[in-house]
Amino acid sequence: MTIPLWDVKNNCIRKPSIDELSEATYTLIQLLGMGEVTTYGDLARLLDVSPRLIGRILGKNKDLVIIPCHRVVMKNLKLGGYSIGIEFKKKLLRLEDSLDEEDRVKRDNYRSLYDFLMDP
């Protein structure tokens, strides 16, 4: 089920556009503090879309400093991709002390945005 939006102009409910999903994704990522990471799946669950769509949205992020998409990783806490290269993603995550000696995300740095936002 996709999150419905009210279309005021046409007085009906509609699916969100890719631009609206992108804005929501970027907003959610900004909730992560330095050193915290979440998963593509976590974001997808919040927005009721595919984790692959989240990856495509993040791949188009033009504001890497403002929208810290390097803080989004795969569900197994492996790094996944990064629009300007995985080595740069590693460097950013190392600076934030998010990686262990084997360049895997430290479990303590994982934050479920879904649980944070949806847990009563």
* Catalytic annotation, residues: 69
- Please report the DSSP string for 26-61 in residue order: HHHHTTSPTT-BEEHHHHHHHHTS-HHHHHHHHHT-
Quick check: 48 and 3 in contact, CB under 8 A?
yes
CA distance 59 to 84: 9
DSSP assigned state of 108: G
Question: Three-class SS of residue 88?
Answer: helix
